[in-house]
Amino acid sequence: MTDEPRPLDEGMAGRLVLVTDVDLPAAVRQACADLAAALANQAGMPVTVAAVPISRLDALEASLRRDTTAQRREYAPAARLDPAAPMTSAPFLWRPDGRPDWGGMWTTFCELALYGGPPQRGPESPLRAPTNPADSGHEMLVEMQRGIWETTGLYAESIEPGWLAVTCESPTMAAWMCAAIILENVDARVDEERLVLPAGPDYQLKDEVKSIITVVAKTHHYWQAHVTGAAERG
């Protein structure tokens, strides 16, 4: 970073310019400077930060609006979310045969609640284990098994009425995923290398079934990409 003046006849070609209001708070001006430094490193070219009176900014903005060749794009700050609010639901996709396309519903994942992201279910609608169920609901159980397999490659099976066991690669993996899933407001427990999840007979496809598949897919993704990946890199 340098404050040295540039020659008056030096043009702006190959240079980026960030123009700000001179009356911005010091913290915002520092944020602009940090952004410019990062942008210079990423773009590989100098970045000029200019602080000018608001009247100059108004004139510049009006000039850009009149210029039909200028390309403008404005960015608004991201909305601040309630950390306890549940995550938004991914669109429900269907295969040509009429069955849910579990493997195609997620291309990206929200941050885990473990790391400050929105939980899969809100505190007012947690997914708890069924009480004394007679069975697990065959049709919904099959969909949970299929969805977990399609999104993670992990085998799941019914071990007792009301519970579904997912076989993990190790007891450590099962324990880590269990802890992360509980923070998503979904019940879970561990049985050695198996992650045990609720599977109630009255679960609905677009509600509880989808939640179970989502939390397994999310936590499995983070286990592979961030936990085991970081250990291998270290």
Full-model pTM? 0.58
CB of 195 within 8 A of CB of 188?
Answer: yes
Q: Which helix (H) or strand (E) holds 50?
A: strand 47-52
pLDDT digits (tens, 9 = 90+) for 191-225: 999 999 999 888 999 999 999 999 999 999 889 87
pLDDT digits (tens, 9 = 90+) for 175-196: 999 999 999 999 999 999 999 9
Query: Between these two residues, 80 and 168, which has the higher pLDDT value?
Result: 168
List CB contacts of 24: < 8 A, sequence separation 6 or more: 32, 51
How far apart (Å, rounded) are the C-alpha atoms in residues 127 and 187? 6
pLDDT digits (tens, 9 = 90+) for 7-64: 544 554 456 888 888 888 777 778 778 777 877 777 778 888 888 888 887 887 778 7
List CB contacts of 140: < 8 A, sequence separation 6 or more: 199, 201, 203, 204, 205, 208, 209
**Selection from 156, 146, 149, 151 nearest residue 193 by Cα:** 156
pLDDT band for position 174 (cuts 50, 70, 90): very high
How far apart (Å, rounded) are the C-alpha atoms in residues 130 and 61? 60
Distance of CA 128 to the CA centre of its chain: 24
Compute the mean pLDDT over every residue in the chain, rounded to the nearest whole number.
Answer: 79
Query: Between these two residues, 145 and 25, which has the higher pLDDT value?
Result: 145
CB of 222 within 8 A of CB of 180?
Answer: yes
- Measured CA to CA in angstroms, residue 220 lies from 154, 174, 197, 231 at distances of 9, 10, 14, 15
List CB contacts of 85: < 8 A, sequence separation 6 or more: 118, 122
Please give the angle made by the CA atoms of 195, 199 and 201, to the nearest 5 degrees: 170
pLDDT digits (tens, 9 = 90+) for 108-144: 566 788 877 888 888 889 998 888 787 778 888 999 9
Q: Which two tokens stand for residue 200?
A: 């109630």
List CB contacts of 12: < 8 A, sequence separation 6 or more: 48
